[in-house]
Amino acid sequence: MIYDAASFSTYRHDFPMMAATNRGKPLVFLDSAASAQKPLAVINAMQQFYSQQYANIHRGIYEISESASHQFEQTRETVRQFIGAKKAEEIIFVSGTTAGINFIANTLSLGSDNRQAFKAGDEVILTEMEHHANIVPWYLLAKRIGIRLRVVPINDEGELDLAVYQSFFNDKTKLVAVSHVSNVLGTINPIKTMAEMAHHHNVPILVDGAQAAPHLPLNVTQLDVDFYTFSAHKLYGPTGIGVLYINERFLHDLPPYQGGGNMIRTVSFDEVTFAKPPHCFEAGTPSIASVIGLHAAINYLSTIGMDNVRAHELELLDYAETQLKSHPEITIYGRAKEKVGLLSFTLGAVHPHDIGTILDHAGIAVRAGHHCAMPLMERFKVPAMVRIAFGIYNNTADIDHFFQACESIKGMFQ
Amino acid sequence: MSLRELYQEMILDHSKYPRNFGVLTHANHEHVGHNPLCGDKITIYLHEENGVIKAVQFEGSGCAISLASASLMTESIKGKTIAEFEALFSAFHVLVTEGKETIDLGKLDSLRGVSAFPVRVKCATLAWHTLKAALLQDRNPATTE
- Contact call for A412 and B12, based on CB within 8 A: yes
Q: Let me know whether A399 and A284 are in one domain.
A: no
Percent of chain A scored above 70 by pLDDT?
A: 100
Decide if A12 is inside a domain. Answer: yes
| Dihedral in degrees, nearest 10, Cα atoms A90, A92, A98, A103 | -80
SS3 sequence of B44-70: EEEEEECCEEEEEEEEEECCHHHHHHH
B63 interfacial to chain A (CB closer than 8 Å) = yes
Q: Which of B6, B7, B65 to mutate to test the interface with A (most CBs of A within 10 A)?
A: B7
Residues of A classed as catalytic:
372
Least confident of A43-47, A56-60, B52-56, B101-105: A56-60
What is the average pLDDT across A103-117? 94
Q: Is B139 a residue whose pLDDT tops 60?
A: no
Q: Let me know whether A314 and A298 are in one domain.
A: no
CB-nearest to A412 from B7, B62, B123 is: B7
B121 interfacial to chain A (CB closer than 8 Å) = no
Q: Where are the beta strands (DSSP E) in A122-231?
A: 123-127, 148-152, 173-179, 205-208, 227-231
Decide if A38 is inside a domain. Answer: no
Q: Is A305 a residue whose pLDDT tops 90?
A: yes
Query: Which of A302, A327, A358 is the last residue in one of the domains?
Result: A302
Residue A251 CB neighbour total at 10 angstroms: 17
Query: Which of A264, A285, A302 is the last residue in one of the domains?
Result: A302
Q: Is A414 a residue whose pLDDT tops 80?
A: no
pLDDT, mean over chain A = 96
A333-354 per-position pLDDT tens digit: 999 999 999 999 999 999 999 9
Closest CA to A335 of A326, A327, A345: A345
Q: Name the residue in chain B with its Cα closest to that of A413.
A: B12
Q: Taking an 8 Å Cβ-Cβ cutoff, which residues of chain A contact chain B? A: 350-354, 357-358, 360-361, 368-370, 377, 383-384, 408, 412-413
Q: Is A393 a residue whose pLDDT tops 60?
A: yes
CB-nearest to A383 from B12, B61, B117 is: B61
Cα A229 from Cα A210, distance rounded (Å): 7
Q: Which of A25, A346, A353, A370 to mutate to test the interface with B (most CBs of B within 10 A)?
A: A353
Closest CA to B117 of B67, B68, B82, B65: B65
Decide if A239 is inside a domain. Answer: yes
Number of structural domains chain A divides into: 2
B124 interfacial to chain A (CB closer than 8 Å) = no
A192-226 per-position pLDDT tens digit: 999 999 999 999 999 999 999 999 999 999 999 99
Query: Which of A302, A334, A357 is the last residue in one of the domains?
Result: A302
pTM comes to: 0.94
Q: Let me know whether A58 and A149 are in one domain.
A: yes
Number of structural domains chain B divides into: 1
The CATH code of the domain that includes A395 is 3.90.1150.10
3 state DSSP class of B127: helix
- Contact call for B120 and A383, based on CB within 8 A: no
Question: Considering all CA atoms of chain B, what is the largest pairwise distance in Å, rounded to the nearest integer?
Answer: 44
Q: Which residues, in sequence order, are CB contacts of A378 under 8 Å at separation 6+?
A: none
Q: Let me know whether A293 and A314 are in one domain.
A: no
Q: Name the residue in chain A with its Cα closest to that of B114.
A: A357
- Contact call for B3 and A412, based on CB within 8 A: yes
A/B interface, count of CB pairs below 8 Å: 47
CB-nearest to A369 from B6, B37, B61 is: B37
Q: Let me know whether A297 and A317 are in one domain.
A: no
State the alpha helices, DSSP H only, in A153-279.
162-168, 191-200, 220-223, 248-251
Q: State the pLDDT confidence band at B144, using cuts at 50, 70 and 90.
A: low
Decide if A35 is inside a domain. Answer: no
Residue A172 CB neighbour total at 10 angstroms: 14
The CATH code of the domain that includes B40 is 3.90.1010.10
Q: Let me know whether A23 and A137 are in one domain.
A: no
Per-residue pLDDT at A58: 86
Q: Which of A31, A132, A346, A354 to mutate to test the interface with B (most CBs of B within 10 A)?
A: A354
3 state DSSP class of A365: strand
- Contact call for A369 and B123, based on CB within 8 A: no
- Contact call for B39 and A369, based on CB within 8 A: yes
B7 interfacial to chain A (CB closer than 8 Å) = yes
Decide if A25 is inside a domain. Answer: yes
Residues from chain B that touch A357, judged by Cβ atoms under 8 A, are: 6, 117, 120
Residue A346: domain span: 5-30+305-407
CB-nearest to A369 from B38, B41, B61 is: B38
Q: State the pLDDT confidence band at B5, using cuts at 50, 70 and 90.
A: confident
Cα A237 from Cα A203, distance rounded (Å): 33
Residue B74: domain span: 3-141
